[in-house]
Each structure stands twice: as structure tokens, then as C-alpha cells.
Amino acid sequence: MNVQQALAARISANKFDTAHELTPEEVEALVAAAMEAPSAFNIQHARFLVVRDPAARAALQQVAYGQQKVRDAAATFVVLGDTRGAERLPLIAERSREAGLLDAAGAAGFAAKGQDAYAGKPAFAREEAIRSASMAAMALMLAATERGLASGPMIGFDPEALRREFHIDERYLPVMMIAVGRAAPGNWPRKPRLQPGEALVDDARPGLTHAFS
Amino acid sequence: MNVQQALAARISANKFDTAHELTPEEVEALVAAAMEAPSAFNIQHARFLVVRDPAARAALQQVAYGQQKVRDAAATFVVLGDTRGAERLPLIAERSREAGLLDAAGAAGFAAKGQDAYAGKPAFAREEAIRSASMAAMALMLAATERGLASGPMIGFDPEALRREFHIDERYLPVMMIAVGRAAPGNWPRKPRLQPGEALVDDARPGLTHAFS
């Protein structure tokens, strides 16, 4: 399945086969695909809490205002973003040094430059965590589609209840949840999209407001 | 090229062939691919200002702290997120009605429910715009990869200078820029990624802090 086909085939599923399970290998493969997404300074802010156990699913369903897909799907991936990801830049830089991409001085300089970019900017770091985690989420959904799995992204949940119930440290921001499993009958078809011309201004400098109205 | 191959092949490019140009059809196809990404209530928050004209590229390079790739790449896509996207829900619902997915009452109910979800929550709406635009950006980069094009995402720019220079209305939040074109020699190889086990907690309820340290 090529990229264009996966983009066109993906639907936001609500109905899942309750008998279907994901293997730990499938969970790891989906997370590995998600981690291929880019991130500023390669910080890799995205983290994944994968909820598969029936009791944990029931708890997560409560947090998600009762959404049935959390209970029905083989797994729900809670996608988190590390709001303090820049603190881990020395480790990230060290991995690039080990891979031969940077020498020791280059790695130190890279880590320092990245940490500088976020110093004293918690709002920027928070939004960066959302960006990175969202790009990773998109990669995960396309990888799932390619594997014949359905996915249902959700932002309808109580983030504070999620933190409490699953003991998520405050540094990790819940960005979205994605139910993943085998589709059951009854899903909505793909919803229509705006035409490119409705979402695109090609080189027009003044008047974006009007162009996108 | 399948999804997994595109994910593995994509690099964050800095060096672009300055002689290469994108056609308007290629620009539209990339935006259409980006618009396939999901969004809450199908609001489709993502918007794209595509900068290809040499003078506009020079202006954009200034806004992007002098980054050379803005000047060199065939186009830079400024990815914006509509922070007031929910206001457009009647139009979005009408498109679903025209497509036969909803009847008139269903369309009205859908629009009202979506507008309720964002009423009085500007911070949530802002973060939603970032999520949607970031997922669209990921889709755009993978579609570019499949077409043999390189892409270089950027968050290093002055959002206020961008607004002023390109007359972007305050409702549209600049989420990132993506330089797109044909790669030139000299790009960095792909940077190493964390192992799935470093970014994943599979059903562990307590102790995320330690699990992800």
C-alpha cells in the first residue's frame, strides 16, 4: 500500500472487532513507525501508553467520557508529548555520536544549541510537544492502515483524570488517544475534504483572511 | 513506495537543488494529501501558504532567521492552523450532507455538537489547531517522499514577523514551515531513533515517570 493509498483508505473508526487482539510485536512495530516522524532537534517528544488489558481499558473508557471504542478496540494508544524533552538532548546527541553522525564536540554543541532554543520558553516547549506527538500519531495511523488495522483518533477525554488514573507525570502532556484494532461493520465512510484551493494560498502575500474564508 | 518505506526514507533536508521548481499541480497534490489527515469533527484546521516566488522566498528567509533552505527549496509550505475552525462547522456539516453522509437534521446537530465542544475554550481550540496542522504536515512530508521530493520541517521562525510580512490574520496560527524540493548533496543522514521500548509503556499503570526516564 503506497502512501497515497493509505491516506485515502484511512478512516476515523468508531466500531472495532471486540475479539481482535494486537500482539506485543504489533504494538512495538506501530510505535517504531510513529517514532520515525521528525521532531525539532530530533528530541523525539512522543511517548505511548498502550492500554490493552480489559480492566485498564475500562478505566480508560471512563476517562474518555464513556467512548465505547476504547473498550472495543484491541488497544488504545495514549499519545503523550514530553514537555521537557530538551532536557534529554545530551542523550539524543550521544546516540548521534555513537552512530558516527557527530563527534564529541559536535554532540555537545548540538545538545547545547537545542537546550538554548527552549530555555525559559515553557509555552513553546509545550506546543513543540503537541507538534511532535501529533506528527508521530499521524505516522502511527498510516502504519496501522498499511497493516490492515483501523484507527480512531480521539481528543474527547479528561486529561487530568487520565493523569490521575494512569499516574502520568506532569512532564508528559496527553496529546491524543488512538484506538487501534480490526474494524467492525458500521463505521462511517470517509468524510469529504475541502478542495486544495480552499486551503491553499500559492504565493499570495496580502489577504490570507479573505483567501481562506 | 509503501508507508513503512516512506517513513524510513524521509530525512529532514537542509540542502535543496536551487534549480528545481514545483508545478502548481504538484503543490495542489501535496496540499490534497495533507488534507487527508484527520481532524476533530472533520474541521480541517490546516491551511497552507505556499511560498515559491523568489522575492517572497527572500522575505520568508528573513522571517526564518536566515535559514538558507527557505531560499533554496522549490517551495516552502507555511502550515497554519485555524484557531477558530469550529466556526466553520456549518459549512463542514453541509459538505457531509451534500455527500449523503448526513441528513439536514444530522448536519445541524453535528455542527452544534462540534461548536459546543470548543465554546469558551480558546486554549483548547489553539492546541487543536496545532494538532490538526501537525498531522497534516506529516501527511504532506510522506506524500512528498513518495514523489521523490525532500522536505525540511522548521520551527525556527519569528511568528509575529511572519504574520506581518505575509498579512496572516490572527485566527491562523503558524504551526511550522516545510521546505520542499529536490534534495541536493550534503544532507545529513537519518538520525537515530529511540527504541520502541524507550518510548512505550504497554499497559503499565503506575510509574510512567520512571518508565520513560
Of A167, A191, A199, the CB nearest to B46: A199
Structure confidence at residue A167 (pLDDT): 87
User: Residue B210: what pLDDT?
Assistant: 43
ipTM score: 0.96
Q: Which amino acid is at A122?
A: P
Instruction: Label the pairing between strands A46-51 and B200-202.
Output: parallel
Count of A-B CB contacts under 8 Å: 238
Q: pLDDT by residue (tens digit) across B157-196? A: 999 999 998 888 899 999 999 999 999 999 999 999 999 8
Joined grid coordinates for residue A42: 530530533
Closest approach of A2 to chain B, Cα-based (Å): 4
Interface test with B, best of A14, A173, A205 (most B CBs within 10 A): A205
- Sheet of strand A200-202: strand arrangement: A200-202, B46-51, B75-82, B172-181, B150-154
Contact A172 B143 (CB under 8 A): no
In angstroms, the CA A183 to CA A206 distance is 45
Mean pLDDT in each 10-residue stretch from start to end of chain A (213 residues)? 97 97 94 97 96 92 97 97 96 96 97 95 96 98 98 97 90 97 96 91 55 51
Give B190 to chain A, closest Cα distance, Å: 9
- Strands (DSSP E) contained in chain A are 46-51, 75-82, 150-154, 172-181, 200-202
User: Residue B126's pLDDT is what?
Assistant: 97
Residue with cell 498499511: A146
Taking CA atoms, A165 is separated from A55, A66, A180, B164, in Å, by: 12, 15, 21, 44
pLDDT for the residue numbered B207: 46
Measured from the Cβ of residue B213, the count of other Cβ atoms closer than 10 Å reads: 9
Nearest CA to CA, how far is A115 from chain B (Å)? 14
Question: Cβ separation of A10 and B38 shorter than 8 Å?
Answer: yes
- Looking at residue A212, what is its pLDDT? 56
Q: Where is A69: in which H helix or E strand?
A: helix A68-72
Q: Is the dihedral of CA B112, B114, B115, B121 positive or negative?
A: positive
The three grid cell numbers given for residue A123, joined into one nine-digit string: 509555552
Q: Which residue shows C-alpha cell 488514573?
A: A165
pLDDT tens-digit profile of A7-22? 999 999 999 999 999 9
Q: CB of A10 within 8 A of CB of A151?
A: yes
B145 to A35: CB separation less than 8 angstroms, yes or no: no
User: Which positions ≥6 away from B21 have C-beta within 8 Å?
Assistant: B52, B74
Q: Which residues contact A71 (CB under 8 A, 6 or more apart)?
A: A18, A57, A58, A61
Query: Do A50 and B200 form a contact (C-beta atoms < 8 A)?
Result: yes
Residue B46 CA to residue B96 CA, distance in Å, equals: 18
Q: Are A32 and B189 inside 8 Å of each other by CB?
A: no
Rounded Cα gap, residues B213 and B145, in angstroms: 33
pLDDT one digit per residue (tens) for chain B, 213 residues? 999 999 999 999 999 999 999 999 999 999 999 999 999 999 999 999 999 999 899 999 999 999 999 999 999 999 999 999 999 999 999 999 999 999 999 999 999 999 999 999 999 999 999 999 999 999 999 999 999 999 999 999 999 999 998 888 899 999 999 999 999 999 999 999 999 889 988 765 444 444 554
Contact (CB<8Å) A8/B176:
no
- Helix, strand or coil, per DSSP, at residue B22: coil
Q: Is A39 helix (H, G, I), strand (E, B) or coil?
A: coil
Predicted structure pTM score: 0.96
Residue-range domains of chain A with CATH: 3-211 (3.40.109.10)
Give the one of B96, B188, B200 whose C-beta lies nearest to A48's C-beta: B200
Q: In this structure, what DSSP letter does residue A48 have? A: E
**A37, A193, A207 ranked by CB distance to B138: nearest:** A37
